[in-house]
Amino acid sequence: MSIQTHAYLANEKGQILEKSSIELPELVEDHVRIKVTHCGLCHSDIHLMEDDLGITQYPMVPGHEVVGIVEAVGANVSHLNVGDRAGVGWISNSCGHCKQCDKDEENLCAEAEPLIVASKGGFADKVDVSGHFAYAIPEKLTSENAAPLLCAGITVYNPLKRFLTQKGMTVGVVGIGGLGHLGLQFAKKMGARVVAISHSDSKKEEALSFGADVFVNSSSAEDMAKVQGDIDLIIDTVSAKHDFLQLFDILAPNGTLCVLGITSEHINLLPVQFILTQKKVTGSAVGSPKDMAEMLEFAAEHGIETKTELMPMSSVNEAIQKLIRNEARYRIVLEN
């Protein structure tokens, strides 16, 4: 039987979210239904509300850093029980049989479904997702801390795991927001020398407290000159137009610029800029269920702590405006 629940809906581009009654379909055997207690606000929610990627289907319910209590489980779901704490991130389903799904890389499946595109997201009382993409939350993590790890955390953890091949490598984290402040913490705990790169001096003290060894203001040529040719891996989390070449320049030879932020600009590089330096430009997309379980364990074991601002779910529109003004410190979590 389908059920009625409440959710905050974006009915069209540029509109505020409206609380409405929605229908969740009858729970199928591979799915779980979660009663939402907490949901982080990620900048991707705003990109999707504004249809920046051209994939939004209105009406949509944003919210993809969901933690709550399992309310119902389908017959084929065995790793979660009613009453458990569970979470959901960006992906709510994948094809389950392609080369990527077979290799535990469901995040790269061509049919991977973003929760807030294919289904209804977590700014709601309840969500319904494939059990394969519903994660048990380790006991040591509070729900408020765990929610942002399910998108922001996994998105920075994944490239650090892939590209941080030796202890002592220098990692630059660009943009100290939701993703960035977790990137500083994960990079430090993984043994890197960490450089925080921000366009706002106001974040210096906190960036150092999150694990940065050095703080650099990207709008100061003098600051940027100090790290020229110094950085082995850049995790670029900036959510707005910015200068990619400035970042490419501060990489060491063989360095990697890993772009995570979704912006609408091109990266203009001449072949010679790669050839003579062997630098690489790549991207990274959230993570697979296997990565997610590993990341949550790592966070619990190493005391990775999201710096949250807790707000009631009913203040979601206020929270969105705050994030747009770059005033969130550092992840807003909505609470039901």
Task: List residues binding ligand NAP (CB under 6 A).
Answer: 42-44, 47, 151-152, 155, 175-180, 198-200, 203, 237-240, 242, 260-262, 284-286, 323, 326, 328
Q: How far apart are CA 298 and CA 275, in angstroms?
A: 36
Q: How far is the CB of 150 from ligand NAP (least distance, A)?
A: 10
* DSSP 3-state of 187: helix
Indicate which single residue of 9, 34, 38, 44 sits in contact with Zn ion (rule: CB under 5 A).
44
160 lies in the binding site for Zn ion (CB under 5 A): no
Which residues in 306-335 contact Zn ion (CB under 5 A)? none
Check binding of 158 to Zn ion (CB under 5 A).
no
- Using Cβ positions, the residue closest to Zn ion within the complex turns out to be 42
Find the farthest-apart pair of alpha carbons in the chain and give their distance in angstroms, rounded: 63
Question: How many chain residues bind Zn ion (CB under 5 A)?
Answer: 3
Looking at the Cβ atoms of 77 and 91, the one nearer to ligand NAP is 91
Read off the tokens for 161: 């795991």
Tokens of residue 166, six digits: 């030796």
In the bound complex, which residue of the shown chain has the CB atom lying closest to ligand NAP? 177
Could you give the CA distance from residue 65 to residue 154 in angstroms, rounded to a whole number? 11
Residue entry with tokens 């100061």:
220
Kindly state the tokens that stand for 91: 């992906």
Is 44 or 198 the residue whose CB approaches Zn ion more closely? 44
Nearer to ligand NAP, 240 or 267 (CB): 240
Residue 42 binds to Zn ion (criterion: CB under 5 A)? yes
Q: How far is the CB of 275 from ligand NAP (least distance, A)?
A: 27
**Tokens, residue 278:** 């062997």
Q: What is d(CA 264, CA 53) in angstroms, rounded to the nearest whole number?
A: 9
d(CA 186, CA 290): 17
User: Closest CB to ligand NAP among 95 and 240?
Assistant: 240
Cα separation of 87 and 34, whole Å? 8
Min dist CB 73 to ligand NAP, Å, is: 27
Candidate ranges 95-103, 145-153, 269-277, 310-318; the one touching Zn ion (CB under 5 A)? 145-153
Residue 286 three-state SS: coil
